[in-house]
Amino acid sequence: MVNYDEFGPQKILEVYNPRVGMRGFVVIDSLALGPAKGGIRMTPTVTREEVARLARAMTWKNALADLPFGGGKSGIIANPKEITKEKKFEIIKAFSKAIKSICPEEYIAAPDMNMAEEEVKAFVEANGEHHSATGKPTTMCLKPGKHCGIPHEFGSTGFGVFHAGRVAAEHMNLDIQGATIAIEGFGNVGEFAAKYFTEAGAKLVAVSDSRGVLYNEEGIDFEKMKETKHKEKTVTNYKPGKVLPSKEIIGIKVDILVTAAIPDLIKMSDINKIKAELIVEGSNIPMTAEIEEKLYKKGILIVPDFVANAGGVISSYAEHLGQTPEEMFKLVEKKITKNTQVILNHAKEKKIKPRDAGMEIAIERVRSKCKVCKIPEN
């Protein structure tokens, strides 16, 4: 069941094309700050309720990133593993045509689960509006060399995670140079976070993927690890190092732990296992707010997900403006740096955890612009 409150959702669309077998949802949570911005996920189990929760998260993420976007999200019910590539693209095109009336004035799409730059290209072409989505291929331009796509594969999220971690380390007087770091997940987010942290002088000692953890207290060479992962499809084949079960990444003694893969990574039973001084949430919902509260009381600083991993949506904004990839990276650094500083300072001043500080700021930004924020009577 979708929960409604003073902020939204303002509009929910359910679309269906029986000929193609396409069924999907769009949830426009808030238009207070601008058109709703959020990705399309394609899974066999996606629901309106799931999409509504994700759309609300985008409302706060966009507000906290200080972007002129509201919160939105969409989902297509399909299993890409059980259909042909041609069928997948047929479904995407049907979905795009079905929601054409709200793009881009009320909703701007982006890639999410099982959607990448080629899928976004198909969506935009079917929609007929260049600005209907971001995360397009670099070759897809409104005019020759102008307003070209900036795919998320450029690593904007991991780049932002690094800058959030850098600011947080400075906040707690932790020197990045020589600080030990563990990265949970070595995909698009984790790989780029590892790249920028090690370039800044941090010592990478542990990396995980679904096959396990590769741990080496003497340090892991990033370029060699990248080559190993890309060639052999797992970090555990890196040499030298000790291979541990995937879950043990959270208990390794390091200065900084970056989460960059699965949700609900840290359970309530794991609280006493955490030895990191700083956790940067590059993944979405790596733990509950209650667990964050307990770790906060233990003196562990946590940069919450909607602050740390906003690099992707900031990249989307840069693409929407028609910026180049170089301009995009500058914008991500500027906004992530400023937003992390504001939230950590607010948290310190009010003696609350950073997530609560971020929510206070985000809610105030949305409420101040909201013309329809009134709690429904029923």
Q: pLDDT digits over 106-152, tens only?
A: 999 999 889 999 999 999 999 999 999 999 999 999 999 899 999 98
Inter-residue contact 37 to 315 (CB < 8 Å) = no
pLDDT at 152: 81
DSSP per-residue codes, 121-167:
HHHHHHHT-GGGBSS--TT-EEETTEEE---GGG-HHHHHHHHHHHH
Catalytic residue among 73, 88, 121, 195: 73
**What pLDDT, on a 0 to 100 scale, did the predictor assign at position 372?**
57
What are the phi and psi torsion angles at 20 (to 5°)?
Answer: -85, -25
Comparing CA positions, the residue from 110, 83, 45 lying closest to residue 310 is: 110
Mean residue pLDDT across the chain: 94
Query: Whole-prediction pTM value?
Result: 0.90
In the 8-state DSSP scheme, what is residue 272? G
- What length is written for the chain? 378
What is d(CA 49, CA 57) in angstroms, rounded to the nearest whole number?
13
260 or 1, greater pLDDT: 260
pLDDT at 263: 83
**Local confidence band at 374 (pLDDT 50, 70, 90 cut-offs):** low
Q: Which fold has domain 156-311+342-359?
A: Rossmann fold (3.40.50)
pLDDT at residue number 370 = 75
- For the segment 337-350, the average pLDDT, to the nearest whole number, is 96
Mind listing the pLDDT tens digit for each residue in 285-330? 899 989 999 999 999 999 999 999 999 999 999 999 999 999 999 9
Omega of the bond leading into 286 within 30 degrees of 0 (cis): no
For residue range 57-94, what is the model confidence (pLDDT) as tens digits?
899 999 999 999 999 999 999 999 999 999 999 999 99
pLDDT of 375: 47
Quick count: other Cβ atoms within 10 Å of Cβ 151?
A: 22
313: helix, strand or coil: helix
Whole-angstrom distance, CA of residue 286 vs CA of residue 208:
15
Question: Which pLDDT score is estimated for 378?
Answer: 39
Architecture (CATH level 2) of domain 11-149: 3-Layer(aba) Sandwich (3.40)
Contact 322, 143 (CB under 8 A): no
Residue 229 amino acid letter: K
Q: Find the angle CA(185)-CA(186)-CA(188) to the nearest 5 degrees.
A: 110
Torsion sign over Cα 226, 228, 233, 238: negative
Q: What angle do CA 8, 14, 19 make, to 5 degrees?
A: 170
Q: Report the pLDDT averaged over residues 182-190.
A: 94
| pLDDT over 80 at 373, yes or no | no
Domain map of the chain by residue range?
11-149, 156-311+342-359
Rounded Cα distance between 147 and 318, Å, is 10
Q: State the pLDDT confidence band at 376, using cuts at 50, 70 and 90.
A: very low
- pLDDT given for residue 95 in this prediction: 98
Question: What's the CA gap between 314 and 61, in Å, rounded?
Answer: 10
| 305 backbone dihedrals φ, ψ, rounded to 5° | -55, -45
pLDDT of residue 1: 86
Q: Is 243 helix (H, G, I), strand (E, B) or coil?
A: strand
Q: What DSSP state is assigned to residue 277? A: S
DSSP 83: S
Active site residue 73: yes
Q: Do domains 11-149 and 156-311+342-359 have the same CATH topology?
A: yes
- In a 3-state reduction of DSSP, which class is residue 292? helix
DSSP secondary structure of 17-40: ETTTTEEEEEEEEE-SSSSEE--E
